[in-house]
Structure 1
Amino acid sequence: MSFNGLAEAPERGFSLITHWNQQYGLCHVHLADDGGYALASPPVGLIVFWWLGRPVAHRWCADGGSEPLAGQIDSHVLELIAAEEQRAGAAQLGASVVICTRDRPDELRRCLASLPQQTWQAREVIVVDNASIGRRTRDVAHEAGAIYLREERPGLDFARNTGARAASSPILAYTDDDVLLHPTWLERLVAAFDTPTVAAVTGLVLPAELATDAQEHFEKHWSFGRGYLRQDFDTARFAQHRDDVFPAWEIGAGASMAFRREIFERIGYFDERLDVGQAGCSGDSEFWYRVLAHGLSCRYEPRAVAFHVHRRTLDGLASQIHHYMRGHAVALLVQWERTGIAANRRQAWLGMPRWYAGRLWHRLRGLCRPQDRFLREEVLGYLSGLLFYLRHRREGS
C-alpha cells in the first residue's frame, strides 16, 4: 500500500489522506478529524473501502480497531474520495509532452522551465524543432533534458506528427513554445481521460499578459478561453450539426490539448496542409472534428490552465488574423473532404463569403465596429485559403 496524497478541506474541518492498493483496486481513505467535523464521539477517523463500486465505511476506534459506520457518508467526503481515485487512476496512464518550436529559443526556455514544477511529471518531454536556423533551439532542449527531434519540412502539423510518432506514453499532451504552464496543468489534463470514449482533452488558455493594444484586442475578439465550466463534446452534440458546420474551434486551443496515443492509429494524424507554415491554422480543430466524426468524444477541462503570450504588436496580430482565416477556409474544405459532410463545403464557398459581404457592406456605410478592425486581413486571408486548398486538394475530393 503506497501513500498517494493529501487533500485539505478547512471549511469542513478535516483532511483526507488517500492510499491506493493497486493489487486489489481498493481506495483506502483515512479521514483525520481536525476538531471541526464530528464523525463519531470521540472521533478518531474514518476509513472507506471501495468494493465493487460501493463505499463501505468504518471508523477508527480509540483502541486501534475499527467498526462499521452506520448511515450515509457525507457527500463532501465522497467527492474528495472520487477526486483522489481519479488522480490515482489517471496517474497510471502516463503522458508525453510535445512542444513544437521554430526559432524561438527564449520562449522555449521559459516554457520548458514550467514543466519541472508540474505536480505530475511527464514520462518524457519531446521538443520538435521545425527547421530552426542555428543551434540555439537544440541547445535549449538539451539543457532542459528534453528529447530533441528535428523536422525539416516547414509546417506545425509536420512537427506535431513527428512528435506523435516518437512519443511512447498512452497520453500525448501538446503545448506551444509561447505558453507558460500552471503547475497542475498536466495533472488536470490527463485526469480528464476518465472514460474510454474521451479521446481528446483541451484546457483553459488564459493570457499571460495584457500589456499592449494588440494583446487586448486579441483577448477580446479572438480569445482562446472557452469559459470556466467543463464541457463534453460527444456524438450526440455533433449530430445536431449535420445540416450546418459543427463549431469545432469552440472545443479549445492547440496551445493546451492532449490525445490518447491510440487515436492516431485509428483516425490518422494531423492534416499537414493546415497550420503555421502551410495554410495558417486550424490543424487542431480539424483533428477534433475528425475525432467526433469517428464517434468519439472531446472534453474541455478548464482546470487544466495554461497562459499564452499573445502577439504584442498590431502588425504581428494582423498577420496572425490573416493566417487564422486562411487556415479556417482550408479546414472547412478538409473537413468536407474527409467526412463528406456537405455543410462544410457549403459554408466555405457560400456561407463565409456571404457573411463577409455583409460585414463589408456595413463598413462601406460607415459603420465601424471594433471587431472589424482587421476585416481586410480576414477577407484576404480567407480568399487565399480557398486558393491554397484548390492547389493542395487531394485526388477524388
Structure 2
Amino acid sequence: MLKDVVVPTALYHLTVAEALEAGKLASPFMAWLWHEGRPIASTKLVDGHGVCDIASWASQQAVAPDTGSPAAVPHTVSVIICTRDRPEQLDRCLASLAGQTFQPHEVLVVDNASSTTETAEVVSRHGHIYLREDRAGLSHARNTGIAAASGDIVAFTDDDTVLHPDWLLRLEAAFDTDHVWAATGLVIPAELRTEAQCIFELGWSFGHGFVRKDYDASYYQKTRMRGTPTWEFGAGASMAFRRDIFNKIGLFDPHLGAGASGCSEDSEIWYRILHAGGLCRYEPASVLYHFHRADMAGLQKQIRAYMRGHVVALWIQYRKSSDIGNLRRLLISLPRYYLRKVCRRVLHGITVPTCTLGDEIAGYFSGLHHIVKNHRSL
C-alpha cells in the first residue's frame, strides 16, 4: 500500500452549508461541494477541518453565475454508448440515462462485437436502438453511431458511468453559440474503495476544474509549438459534438482508441476541431460518475494503453497538421518528463505521482514501436 493512499476512501457530495459541519464526518474522505445543483469545489483525502476550511472559503466567494440554462429552442440530441461484453455496467448506465431531466432524441448503443447476446437483450429491455459493429476498435464503434444518429448534437458516454440527472441538460446547453463545435463535462469518481481507484483519481483524474473553459483558435495558436494539450479538455466518457462538423473534419481516426493503439481518439479529434477553427468547451456543470478500474492489473494495463495511444496520437496530429509541436512533445518533452519522474522516484520513493512510472514508460515505447510498425498507414 502506498503511503499517500488510504483505502477505502469515503465519497461525500455536500452543499457548502453541510460541508461547514464536516468535522462530524469520518476520515479519510474525498468531498465535492455543490451549489445550486452543480459542483464548485473539491477536497481530497483530508480530515474534517480541511473540508470545513474549503467550505468556509467557498461560502465567502462570489459564485459564478449559472451559465447552464437550456437554450430557448434546445437542440435534438442523440446519445451514443459504445460497449463490449459489459451488460451489467451498460444496464446501470442506461438506468441513469432514463432519469435525465432533458431527454435525448434517441439513444444508440453500439455493440463492438460482444461475444454473447446479453448486450442486445439489455438494449431491447430499455427500448433503445441497438447497432452492431464487428470491426474491433472504439473509433469504429463511435463512427457507426455517428452515421446512424439523427440529432443536431451527438453526445457520447461510456458504459462504466452513472449520469447525474442534469448531465445531458447541461451538456446540450453548452452549445449556446454556433462557435461551439464540441463540449465536454466533469467526470467524478463513483467510488474509491480500492488502492487502484484512489491512485487513478489522484494521479490521472478525469476532472478538469469547476470553471467553464473555452478552447478556440487563439488558444491553439498560442500552444501549437509545444503540442496543444487537448487531453486537458475533458474525457471521452462525457463529450458531445455538433453532428454536422464531422462533414468538415472527418470521423474518429480508427488507428486510435481502445481496440487499436489504446486511446486518444477523443483528444485527437478535439485537436482537429481547433486546427479547423472551431471551439471546444469544457462545461463542469455537466456531471457524471465514473467507475475507475478496481484492480492494479487493470490500472496498469490502462496506463500503458493511455500512453501508447497518446504517443500515436501525437504522430497522427503531426502528420495531419504539420504542427512541429507534436514532434517536440513526442521526442523531447515526454522523455524529459519521464527523466524528472525517475529522479523524483529515486529521491522520494514510490508515491502516487511515480507509482505508475514503469507502465507509462512501457506505454511510451510501445507507442513508438506502433508508429514504426504501422507508419505507412498512420
What amino acid sits opposite 2:317 in the alignment? Q
Q: Distance in 2 between matches of 1:333 and 1:223?
A: 24
Residue 288 of structure 1 pairs with residue 263 of structure 2 = no
SS of residue in 1 equivalent to 2:284: strand
Structure 2 unaligned regions, length at least 5: 1-64
Q: Is the 8 A contact 1:273 1:392 kept in 2?
A: no
What corresponds to 1:193 in structure 2?
A: 175
Task: Map 1:238-257; keep pairs closer than 5 Å.
Answer: 238-257=220-239
What corresponds to 1:45 in structure 2?
A: none
What corresponds to 1:307 in structure 2?
A: 289
What amino acid sits opposite 1:88 in the alignment? A
For the structure 1 residues 363 and 83, does the alpha-carbon distance in structure 2 shift closer, same or farther, using more than 3 Å as the test?
A: closer
What corresponds to 1:346 in structure 2?
A: 328
Q: Distance in 2 between matches of 1:185 and 1:337?
A: 35
1:363, CA displacement in angstroms? 3.7
1:345, CA displacement in angstroms? 1.4
What amino acid sits opposite 1:347 in the alignment? R
Structure 1 unaligned regions, length at least 5: 1-78
TM-score (norm: length of structure 1): 0.76
What amino acid sits opposite 1:274 in the alignment? L
Question: What are the superposed Cα offsets for residues 326-347 of structure 1, whole Å, 9 maximum, x if unpaired?
Answer: 1111111111111110110122
SS of residue in 1 equivalent to 2:130: strand
What corresponds to 2:251 in structure 1?
A: 269
What corresponds to 1:183 in structure 2?
A: 165
Q: Is the 8 A contact 1:126 1:146 kept in 2?
A: yes
1:156, CA displacement in angstroms? 0.6
Q: Distance in 1 between matches of 2:375 and 2:345?
A: 33
For the structure 1 residues 383 and 270, does the alpha-carbon distance in structure 2 shift closer, same or farther, using more than 3 Å as the test?
A: same
Task: Find the partner of 1:168 among 146, 150, 156.
Answer: 150
Q: Distance in 2 between matches of 1:183 and 1:364?
A: 46
What amino acid sits opposite 1:205 in the alignment? V
Q: Is the 8 A contact 1:224 1:253 kept in 2?
A: yes
Question: What are the superposed Cα offsets for residues 175-205 of structure 1, whole Å, 9 maximum, x if unpaired?
Answer: 0000100111111101110111100000000
What amino acid sits opposite 2:129 in the alignment? I
What corresponds to 1:390 in structure 2?
A: 372
Q: Distance in 2 between matches of 1:347 and 1:187?
A: 37
Higher relative contact order (CA 8 A, sep 6+): 2
What amino acid sits opposite 1:272 in the alignment? P
1:367, CA displacement in angstroms? 4.2
What corresponds to 1:211 in structure 2?
A: 193
SS of residue in 2 equivalent to 1:307: strand
What corresponds to 2:34 in structure 1?
A: none
SS of residue in 2 equivalent to 1:370: coil
1:371, CA displacement in angstroms? 1.0
Task: Map 1:23-42; keep pairs closer than 5 Å.
Answer: none
What corresponds to 1:88 in structure 2?
A: 72
Higher helix share: 2
What amino acid sits opposite 2:338 in the alignment? Y
Q: Distance in 1 between matches of 2:261 and 2:342?
A: 24
Q: Is the 8 A contact 2:227 2:328 kept in 1?
A: no
Residue 237 of structure 1 pairs with residue 219 of structure 2 = yes
Q: CA RMSD in A?
A: 1.7
Q: Distance in 1 between matches of 2:156 and 2:292?
A: 18
1:212, CA displacement in angstroms? 1.0
Q: Distance in 1 between matches of 2:183 and 2:364?
A: 28
Q: Distance in 2 between matches of 1:230 and 1:394?
A: 40
Q: Distance in 2 between matches of 1:83 and 1:347?
A: 35
Task: Find the partner of 2:121 among 139, 142, 148.
Answer: 139
Task: Map 1:67-82; keep pairs closer than 5 Å.
Answer: none
SS of residue in 2 equivalent to 1:99: strand
Q: How many residues align?
A: 314
